[in-house]
């Protein structure tokens, strides 16, 4: 066995290892490296550094390709390896160790890798932002761009007969095709399924191209719905060849056979043929599960050459005990679907917690504290989330940490040591909410040196909007700009729990004609620079201290960039290092936090970012962030989505649908790495749906959606502490609920 060097991407493997492989080729990609099996025992062919994962394995007539989180690894003979990442985009991650900053260049996260079945020199891959093609076996890559106005590309495919064509799946906008060399992206034709009639087609999880007798056959499946598509001919119109009546079903990673394909689903290996439809591949799955217990690492991918046709193969029981020679031809990725439970040590501790959020003032007051403790007992609530660093940057406890004490602004404080002792006696799990990048105190600290900067005015930046107040001249009116609409939410406050008031500041003078005057209204938000490592250190120091003093979990809120204001284009970031982007800033902070914080970390995200595989507007990409946190808390507030979203009849079931499907989608996008603990809307907002339906029944339907999805926990949110509308909860399940409930084949 040879360890793959992280610095030198060309290695040699002892040739003796290759001779240990059976006549049937079997490669297993894991979080440690590449395994095979010899005489019924696992053999490590190539060991990877600890932070590299082998996510997909492809064999072409040119050699082997391995999709990893560090890019594309190629081997001609499984004895020498090289990285083939030339001209793929890179991301800069900022690392802080012992106060020293280091910038590390990594390849952007690659979501998929496929080759052209007609010409194995042609490959395609993609990041969430763009597709890339190689005409020389991956030695060089060329960008094909992104056909959608949103990021979140999930899958790609390519075929060169009869015309070179690339296919691409957008998480938000559906399936696209592009003919090369001169064609542009166009929406694929077909009757594609939608989870909501008012939205775009639902995400396609995987696309595969087979060489049929009459030309190419293209297969595709949805990520969250039980629908299979097939396209043939010259216009590639996709038709549904299988669908079932259920609101959620996960499918991914197609492995082609002569008459259909295998696919991976939750704890199931599935087989599809036109004759049998979609069925469980029970015998093959038995062998896969045996491999899972045999190999000492988490299996992420598998390649097996097979011996006979997949449909006629009979699996002998004895094969389970031998060398897996009975496995058919398979090329599978996304094998995290078979995970029983995430290996992170903090997820089990954080699961099955049902709580309420309270402003710290309610806890400081002894009478209101008693009232809420009684409410929690009465409603079977075992978790309390309070602000220890609030939306204005005020600390709500007295710190003993030297770094924190040198920088912080105290608010009205609790006696943290006495409080945690009291709550422990009552059996209450404590979560410290820490608002990170929205922080008025640190915005003003040091003459604004940590603030988001206004590149136009050369001052600390604040977002504002225009509002009409009277009359103004035509020349004044013509210079105003309307606030941009958020395409994914109903209001501009959808991203976080606390609503941000807009504060009127200046009014343009009225003129003598009848044109409306414009008043500049500043939002009540003050943002610090998410690229700034000193802001990271300050917040992490707070997190470490509150855990040491009795809290069970830290919850980071406002882990995002500012999004609101007609002047958002003027916001600039003085602490941004060359090559970094919004996503790399958030990843760098959370990677630093994960390394420093010895306890569960949760984060709050936009509801829409838990619904789609996209960090739209904020950089909150669940698939990436789930590597560094233990709990993700999507805010699936029905009032904050477009009001017709999932509002089909019976419309009163809309809160149930949003929380059930949103929870399942978030957990699937996060690859089972995290606990999904949604924030539950326990407040009324003056929007059309709430005006018709908000009531205790509305809240109960949200809760029922969580129960019917994962039931890993929830937190009720009402900013003024009014919890009259919440139901009495079921007693927490002592187990760790992680099973996606599917009803197509179960």
**CATH no. for 2-338:** 2.120.10.30
pLDDT above 60 (res 8) = no
What was the pLDDT predicted at 509?
42
Least confident of 22-36, 114-128, 556-570, 574-588: 22-36
Domain parsing of the chain, residue ranges: 2-338, 353-451+528-717, 464-524
Residues 337-351, mean pLDDT to the nearest whole number: 82
Average confidence (pLDDT) over 377-387: 97
Q: What is the pLDDT averaged over residues 135-142?
A: 98
CA distances to 281, 307, 692 from 317, in Å: 15, 17, 60
How confident is the model over 489-515, as a mean pLDDT? 45
In this structure, of 19-23, 273-277, 462-466, the range with the lowest mean pLDDT score is 19-23
Question: What's the confidence (pLDDT) of residue 197?
Answer: 86
Reply yes or no on whether the pLDDT at 312 is more than 60. no
Q: Give residue 309's pLDDT band: very low, low, confident or very high (50, 70, 90).
A: very low
What number is the average pLDDT over the span 388-397? 96
Quote the percentage of the chain above a pLDDT of 70.
85
- In contact, 272 and 343? CB cutoff 8 Å: no
**Overall CATH class of domain 353-451+528-717:** alpha beta
Strand ranges of the sheet holding 571-572, from the earlier edge strand across to the other edge: 459-460, 453-454, 571-572
Residue 660's Cβ-count burial label (10 Å; 0-12, 13-18, 19+) is buried
What is the average pLDDT across 297-326? Answer: 62
Mean pLDDT to the nearest integer, 563-590: 93
Q: What is the mean pLDDT of residues 210-221?
A: 95
- 525 contact partners, CB below 8 Å, separation of at least 6: 438, 462, 463, 500, 562, 564
3-class secondary structure, 468: strand
Q: pLDDT tier at 345 (50, 70, 90 boundaries)?
A: confident
Which positions ≥6 away from 296 have C-beta within 8 Å? 32, 42
The pLDDT of residue 621 is 85
Contact 241, 274 (CB under 8 A): yes
> Does the pLDDT at position 480 exceed 70?
no
Secondary structure (DSSP) of 485-520:
P-TT-SSTTTTSSS---EEEEEEPPP-SSSBPPEEE
Give the per-residue pLDDT at 730.
85
**Which residues share a beta bridge with 681?**
717
Q: Reading across the β-sheet that carries 204-212, which strands appear in turn?
A: 189-190, 237-243, 227-231, 215-222, 204-212
pLDDT beyond 90 at 67: yes
Task: Return all residues near 355 (Cβ < 8 A) that are at least 6 apart.
Answer: 381, 382, 383, 384, 385, 429, 431, 713, 714, 715, 716
The pLDDT, as a whole number, for residue 518 is 85
Among left, alpha and beta (phi > 0; psi -120 to 50; other), residue 377 is alpha
**CA nearest 401: which of 589, 558, 575, 596?**
596
Query: 670 pLDDT exceeds 50?
Result: yes
Nearest by Cα to 445 from 396, 391, 409, 399: 409
| pLDDT the model gives residue 742 | 64
Compute the average pLDDT of residues 385-393.
96
pLDDT digit string, tens, across residues 684-696: 999 999 999 999 9
Read off the pLDDT band of 649 (50, 70, 90).
very high
pLDDT band at 42 (very low <50, low <70, confident <90, very high): very high
- Span of 54-68, 241-255, 486-500, 605-619 with lowest mean pLDDT: 486-500
580 pLDDT exceeds 80?
Answer: yes
Compare 513 and 551 and report the one with higher pLDDT: 551
Pairing of strands 33-38, 330-332: unpaired
Residue 516: predicted pLDDT: 66
CA–CA separation, 156 vs 171, rounded Å? 12
Residue 295, SS3 per DSSP: coil
Confidence band for 324, pLDDT divided at 50, 70 and 90: confident
Average pLDDT over residues 51-70: 94
Residues in the chain, how many?
A: 746
Q: What's the CA gap between 128 and 576, in Å, rounded?
A: 22
Distances (CA, A) of 210 to 71, 261, 273: 25, 10, 14
Percent of the chain with pLDDT over 90: 73
**Does position 633 have pLDDT exceeding 80, yes or no?**
yes
pTM of this prediction? 0.89
323 or 453: which carries more pLDDT confidence?
453
Please tell me the predicted confidence (pLDDT) of residue 61. 94
pLDDT in the model for residue 310? 41
497 has a pLDDT exceeding 70: no
Mean pLDDT rounded to a whole number for the chain: 87
Please report which confidence band the pLDDT of residue 620 belongs to, taking 50, 70 and 90 as the band edges: confident
Q: What pLDDT is attached to residue 743?
A: 60
When pLDDT is averaged across residues 643-671 and rounded to a whole number, the result is 96
* Predicted pLDDT at 326: 79
Which two tokens mark 478? Answer: 């013509």
**Which helix (H) or strand (E) element contains residue 705?**
helix 696-709
**Residue with structure tokens 């210079």?**
479
Residue 82 has pLDDT above 50, yes or no: yes
Residue 308: pLDDT band by 50, 70, 90 thresholds? very low
pLDDT range class, residue 506, cuts 50, 70, 90: very low
In the predicted structure, residue 510 carries a pLDDT above the cut 80? no
624: its two tokens:
């990436």
Asked if residue 483 has pLDDT above 50, the reply is no
More confidently predicted of 617 and 215 = 215
Give kind and range of the element (H or E) at residue 170.
strand 165-170
pLDDT computed for residue 339 by the predictor: 79
């Amino acid at each position: 066995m040879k360890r793959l060097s992280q610095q030198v991407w060309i290695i040699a493997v002892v040739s003796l290892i290759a001779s240990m492989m059976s006549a049937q080729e079997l490669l297993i990609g894991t979080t440690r490296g590449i395994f095979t099996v010899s005489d019924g025992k696992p053999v490590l062919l190539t060991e990877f550094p600890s932070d590299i994962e082998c996510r997909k394995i492809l064999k072409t007539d040119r050699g082997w390709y391995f999709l990893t989180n560090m890019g594309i690894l190629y081997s001609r003979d499984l004895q020498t390896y090289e990285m083939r990442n030339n001209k793929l985009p890179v991301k800069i991650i900022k690392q802080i160790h012992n106060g020293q900053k280091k910038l590390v260049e990594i390849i952007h996260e690659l979501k998929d890798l496929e080759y052209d079945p007609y010409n194995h020199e042609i490959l395609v891959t993609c990041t969430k932002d763009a597709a890339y093609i190689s005409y020389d076996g991956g030695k060089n890559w060329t960008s094909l761009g992104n056909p959608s106005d949103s990021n979140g590309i999930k899958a790609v495919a390519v075929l060169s007969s009869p015309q070179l064509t690339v296919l691409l799946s957008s998480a938000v906008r559906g399936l696209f095709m592009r003919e090369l060399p001169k064609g542009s992206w166009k929406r694929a034709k077909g009757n594609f399924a939608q989870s909501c009639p008012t939205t775009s087609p639902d995400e396609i999880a995987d696309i595969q191209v087979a060489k049929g007798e009459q030309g190419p056959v293209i297969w595709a499946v949805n990520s969250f719905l039980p629908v299979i598509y097939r396209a043939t001919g010259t216009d590639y119109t996709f038709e549904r060849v299988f669908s079932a009546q259920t609101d959620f079903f996960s499918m991914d990673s197609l492995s082609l056979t002569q008459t259909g394909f295998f696919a991976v689903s939750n704890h199931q290996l599935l087989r599809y043929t036109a004759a049998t439809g979609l069925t469980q591949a029970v015998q093959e799955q038995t062998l896969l599960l045996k491999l899972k217990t045999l190999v000492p690492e988490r299996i992420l991918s598998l390649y097996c050459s097979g011996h006979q046709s997949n449909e006629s193969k009979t699996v002998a029981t004895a094969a389970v005990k031998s060398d897996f020679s009975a496995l058919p031809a398979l090329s599978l990725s996304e094998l995290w679907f078979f995970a029983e439970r995430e290996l992170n040590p903090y997820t089990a501790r954080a699961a099955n917690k049902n709580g309420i959020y309270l402003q710290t003032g309610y806890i400081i007051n002894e009478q209101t504290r008693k009232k809420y403790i009684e409410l929690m007992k009465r409603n079977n609530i075992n978790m309390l989330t309070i602000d220890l660093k609030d939306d204005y940057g005020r600390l709500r406890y007295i710190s003993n940490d030297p770094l924190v004490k040198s920088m912080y602004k105290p608010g009205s404080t609790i006696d943290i040591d006495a409080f945690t002792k009291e709550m422990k006696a009552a059996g209450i799990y404590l979560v410290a909410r820490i608002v990170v990048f929205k922080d008025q105190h640190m915005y003003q600290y040091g003459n604004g040196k940590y603030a988001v900067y206004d590149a136009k005015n050369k001052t600390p930046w604040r977002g504002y909007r225009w509002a009409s107040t009277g009359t103004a001249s035509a020349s004044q009116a013509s210079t105003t700009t309307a606030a941009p609409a958020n395409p994914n939410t109903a209001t501009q406050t959808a991203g976080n729990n606390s609503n941000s008031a807009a504060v009127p500041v200046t009014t343009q003078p009225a003129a003598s004609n009848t044109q409306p005057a414009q008043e500049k209204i500043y939002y009540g938000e003050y943002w610090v620079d998410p690229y700034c490592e000193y802001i990271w250190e300050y917040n992490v120091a707070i997190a470490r201290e509150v855990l040491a003093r009795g809290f069970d979990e830290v919850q980071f809120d406002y882990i995002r960039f500012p999004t609101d204001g007609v002047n958002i284009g003027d916001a600039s970031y003085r602490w941004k290092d060359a090559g970094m982007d919004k996503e790399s800033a958030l990843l760098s902070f959370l990677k630093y936090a994960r390394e420093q914080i010895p306890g569960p970390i949760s984060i709050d995200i936009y509801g829409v970012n838990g619904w789609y595989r996209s960090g739209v507007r904020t950089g909150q990409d669940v698939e990436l962030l789930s590597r560094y946190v233990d709990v993700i808390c999507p805010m699936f507030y029905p009032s904050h989505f477009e009001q017709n979203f999932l509002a089909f009849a019976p419309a009163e079931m809309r809160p149930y649908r949003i929380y059930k499907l949103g929870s399942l989608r978030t957990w699937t996008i996060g690859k089972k790495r995290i606990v999904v603990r949604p924030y539950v809307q326990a407040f009324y907002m003056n929007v059309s749906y709430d005006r018709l339906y908000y009531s205790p029944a509305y809240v109960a339907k949200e809760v029922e959606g969580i129960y019917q999805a994962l039931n890993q926990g929830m937190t009720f949110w009402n900013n003024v502490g009014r919890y009259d509308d919440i139901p009495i909860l079921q007693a927490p399940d002592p187990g760790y609920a992680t099973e996606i409930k599917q009803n197509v084949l179960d």
